[in-house]
Homo-oligomer: A and B are copies of this chain.
Amino acid sequence: MTTSTPTDTLRQDVHDAARRARTAARALALLNRAEKDAALHACADAVLAAAPDVLRANDDDVRAGRDAGLDAGLLDRLRLSPERLDGIAAGLRQVAGLPDPVGEVVRGSTLANGIRLRQLRVPLGVLGMVYEARPNVTVDAAGLALKSGNAVLLRGSSSAARSNRALVVALRGALEAQGLPADAVQLLDATDRATVTHLVQARGLVDVVIPRGGAGLIQAVVRDATVPTIETGVGNCHLYVHAAADLAVAQRLVLNAKTRRVSVCNALETVLVDRAVAGVAVPQLVSALQAAGVTVHSDVEGGAELGTVPATDDDWASEYLSMDVALTVVDDLDAAVAHIDTWGTGHTEAIVTTDLAAAEAFTRRVDAAAVMVNASTAFTDGEQLGLGAEIGISTQKLHARGPMGLTELTSTKWIAWGDGHVRD
């Protein structure tokens, strides 16, 4: 007889959950759209019906978080309210309204030998989600997974454990009542960080892990994982004010991209101003940003008189996620692209220009998930780009790049129909 250490037991628990998820995923893959949409509506009803339980559990989480000294931003993301629960339920109904990606014929042809070939979209199988203290992610991820025919293993933050548990109880009850496997949605233990390690190393049992949260969380997942992962969310986004920019447009876009919501990954972090217009544009932008309450970190000449804070390489590298922005002058489009190559995270980059050749060159040469011409970086968002909903924004190039909607939660399968075809 072997002796189990606590780690062995935990690993076993995660693997057992993944095996149950695989079994559930086999059933989910065969559901048609009507069945999945009915289940999504049932989940929405169940979340609303469970509101008293969920809000009580959430109160306990928030109180414990405050006692543990969580900062105000985290507490706000953790807190649920009847209105937020309405929004969460509405999100599930919205996903029900989206087209089913499963079964889509991606490519198809009849080969020279007569074989009828189709490449069909199929679910990935078992998704792992690792995320921080936002209970809405629990329901959003479950809804997107269900619609795309995937089972999901949820590993949220311990600070939201009670809220997540209450939500997942409601979702699982709704699935069971619909005759679907409850194990399509499972919440993993959040008390031990080792759960994350076991999840991201459950190769062969889990098909993809999507980390959502700060850079530390994402790096830890990527470092430890043997399961394929999708890196999300770090956005050091730039806006380049080109020599031929309409400066009124530039100012509007800079203010929108910086101040609309500072805590999101598509927020603007660095403004690059072309030397040709710097004399006019820099004072104008700095003053507008300061009037909006933004601290400008800059290395421009005369920055002290403009009231900017001296900038170092740390500022070019920084994803502030706050009312701060970096600003520098670049010699030309080449220098702007070079700055972005050096410091960007491949999320969203924008140019403001009236010059067609400059716009074309920027879109071709900048290597990022999204490139905006005369539009705010804030548009990099699944709903804004018409994907309907998103499970995260990928900043890697493999599998999915940019906002990930339902299509990005699928794989494909080749089906070949022959009449006894053999290969020479």
Binding site for B on A (CB under 8 A): 26, 29-30, 109, 111, 115, 117, 119, 122, 124-125, 203, 207-208, 222-223, 226, 228-230, 246, 248-249, 252-253, 256-257, 260, 341, 359, 363-365, 367-376, 378-380, 384-386, 396-399, 401-402, 411-423
Contacts and interface: CB of A to CB of B under 8 A. Distances in A.
A412 B26 CA distance: 30
A253 B422 contact: yes
A109 B386 CA distance: 9
Contact of A379 (B222, B369, B401, B416): B416
17 contacts: A29-B365, A115-B379, A119-B402, A125-B367, A208-B397, A249-B420, A260-B422, A359-B417, A363-B415, A370-B415, A375-B416, A375-B418, A375-B422, A376-B418, A379-B416, A401-B411, A402-B413
B401 A253 contact: no
Contacts of A372: 416, 418
The 10 closest A-B pairs by CB, nearest first: A375-B418, A256-B422, A397-B411, A378-B423, A399-B399, A249-B420, A370-B414, A375-B421, A228-B398, A398-B399
A391 to B, nearest CB: 14
A340 to B, nearest CB: 12
A404 to B, nearest CB: 12
Contacts of A26: 341, 365, 367
Given A208-B397, A376-B423, A416-B372, A228 B228 contact: yes
A115 B416 contact: no
Given A374-B419, A374-B420, A413 B384 contact: no
A111 to B, nearest CB: 6
Copies per assembly: 2
Nearest to A387: B107
Contacts of A418: 372-376, 379
A117 B411 contact: no
A373 B370 CA distance: 41
A153 to B, nearest CB: 16
A419 B413 CA distance: 41
- Secondary structure call for the A interface: mixed
A223 B223 contact: no
Given A109-B386, A117-B386, A369-B414, A421 B203 contact: no
Contacts of A203: 222
A125 B397 contact: yes
B423 A379 contact: yes
Contact of A226 (B222, B252, B380): B222
Given A117-B386, A222-B203, A398-B208, A252 B413 contact: no
A271 to B, nearest CB: 15
Contacts of A415: 363, 370-371, 373
Nearest to A125: B397
Contacts of A370: 413-416
A191 to B, nearest CB: 27
Contacts of A207: 397-398
Tell which of A125, A229, A420 has the most Cβ of chain B within 10 Å: A420
Nearest to A230: B398
A380 B414 contact: yes
A396 B228 contact: yes
A417 B354 CA distance: 12
Contacts of A402: 119, 412-414
Contact of A423 (B111, B125, B384, B396): B384
Tell which of A29, A207, A375 has the most Cβ of chain B within 10 Å: A375
A162 B283 CA distance: 61
Nearest to A119: B402
B420 A253 contact: yes
Nearest to A410: B397
Contact of A413 (B246, B369, B412): B369
A223 B252 CA distance: 48
